[in-house]
Amino acid sequence: MNRPRAVVAFFLLVALALVGWTLPARAASRDVKVLVPDADNLQYMSFWLAKGAGFFADEGFDVTTVVPKTPQETRGIFERGEANVAVLPPPVYLELVAAKFPLVLVANLLKNDPINLVVSGRVWSERKLSRGVPVRERLLGLKGLRVGVAPHPPARLRAMFAAYGLDADRDIEMRIIHGKEQNEAFARGDIDVLFAHTPYLEKALVDQGAQLLVHVSGGEVPSLAERQIHALVFTRSFAEGSPATAAAMVRAIAKAQALVHSDPSGASAALVRELPSLEPRHVRTLVDLYAPAIPLTPAVRADGFAAALLFFPSGRPAPSLDGIDTAAYVAPDFARAATAPTRPRAWWFAIGVAATALLLLVLLRRRGRQV
């Protein structure tokens, strides 16, 4: 090869290398099994959306889910190594961290509590309730009413009232009702108010004429907002051994979270495709309710464990993290990389190099013809 053409070839190789450098790294493994406690729980909306919208596939690998027979089996499955990747709620990953199980949180899926306070249409009218007044005034309007709550969230209900100088045990009649019985109790009039999350929340609003009184998932109660709640978790060995897969999964989660905020209708459609057993009207309602609870980025942090411990489910002994270096149980670099600004200058430089190389090639050909 003569020298001019060698120069052109060099420029083309540089351009190709720069283009490759600007492209995201592909996953190291094409098939990834993800443990999910429930098959269709929209509290894990960020994960389901990343799957349903094709963001995992865009990263070059396939995600299949492992769903236990009951959510209580989730911890055992993860400990036995039947899946190296999991979507875990705080009680499970807190217990695993307390037991010093080698895991790392790589993406935060939910920042505001997914539970909300809704009242029956009758109570709404009789008490002349309104969301146009401060939260404290709304809660005062519930004085003496029967509020249904599942066995685990009473601590959060008490925290909400306490945040406004009120006492849930004194100001309302708290009734413990298991999730699957909540909508029936609400329909019968056994309770006037429901403190619930999906799937009971959207059923009450869409099918039972309930009215949203306090939008907790919208951040209306600061003590229950801006937290690290459900998370995408890797075993430490998998995160260290397959960093490209971890990075790709977190990028997909980041894209899903961005979609919820930029295009709620598109997000709803993708969720309906991924979870066809769900009622589309319920999904659309819940996306509107939960969108503010989806983090703007999947960032994880070591100090997020403290708030999760504070609201550990009632009736279960909270694990102790005393003496544990919680920083060893988060891998924040993946989320930082997933949301880092793109490198447009590198793209433009690569394009410029390629254009220069092509121009040189054209000039050389013309010169050859003239000679």
pLDDT for residue 342: 55
Together in a domain, 149 and 76: no
- Phi then psi for residue 49, to 5 deg, are -70, -40
CB–CB of 41/179 below 8 Å?
no
Kindly report the backbone phi and psi dihedral angles of residue 234, in degrees, each rounded to the nearest multiple of 5, phi listed first. Answer: -120, 150
Quote the pLDDT of residue 359: 56
Q: Cα–Cα distance between 41 and 274 in angstroms, integer?
A: 12
Q: Mark whether 251 and 319 lie in a shared domain.
A: yes
What does the pLDDT profile of the chain (371 residues) look like in tens digits? 555 555 545 544 444 444 444 444 444 457 899 999 999 999 999 999 999 999 999 999 899 999 999 999 999 999 999 999 999 999 999 999 999 999 999 999 999 999 999 999 999 999 999 999 999 999 999 999 999 999 999 999 999 999 999 999 999 999 999 989 999 999 999 999 999 999 999 999 999 999 999 999 999 999 999 999 999 999 999 999 999 999 999 999 999 999 999 999 999 999 999 999 999 999 999 999 999 999 999 999 999 999 899 999 887 899 999 999 999 999 999 999 988 775 544 444 445 555 555 555 555 566 555 54
Last residue of a domain, one of 224, 242, 277: 224
- Shared domain check, 152 and 70: no
Predicted pLDDT at 24: 47
Q: Which of 171, 206, 224 is the last residue of a domain?
A: 224
Q: Do 82 and 65 have their domain in common?
A: yes
Which residue, among 224, 249, 101, has the nearest Cα to 164 in the 3D structure? 224
Q: Domain check: are 209 and 163 in the same one? A: yes
pLDDT of residue 354: 55
SS3 of 87, please?
Answer: strand
Of 187, 203, 224, which residue is a domain's last? 224
Exposure b/e, 224-242, CB count within 10 A at least 16 = b: bbebbbbbbbbbeebbeeb
pLDDT of residue 15: 46
Distance separating alpha carbons of residues 336 and 329, to the nearest angstrom: 16
Which of 245, 333, 247 lies closest to 27, judged by CA?
A: 245
> Are 213 and 234 members of one domain?
no
For residue 135, give the CATH number of its domain.
Answer: 3.40.190.10
Specify whether 106 is located in the same domain as 236.
yes
The verdict on 317 and 178 lying in the same domain is no
Number of domains making up the chain:
3
For residue 285, what pLDDT is reported? 98
Continuous H helices in the chain: 3-22, 45-52, 55-58, 74-79, 90-98, 121-126, 135-140, 154-162, 168-171, 179-188, 200-207, 236-241, 243-262, 264-274, 280-290, 304-310, 333-338, 344-370
- 80 with 130, same domain: the answer is no
For residue 189, what are the domain limits?
A: 116-224
Token pair of 102, please?
A: 């080698």
Residues 87 and 129 in one domain: no
Q: At 107, is the secondary structure helix, strand, or coil?
A: strand
86 and 231 in a single domain? The answer is: yes
Instruction: Using DSSP bridges, classify how beta strands 146-149 and 116-119 pair: parallel, antiparallel or unpaired.
Output: unpaired
Cα separation, 18 vs 347, whole angstroms: 7
Let me know whether 95 and 13 are in one domain.
no
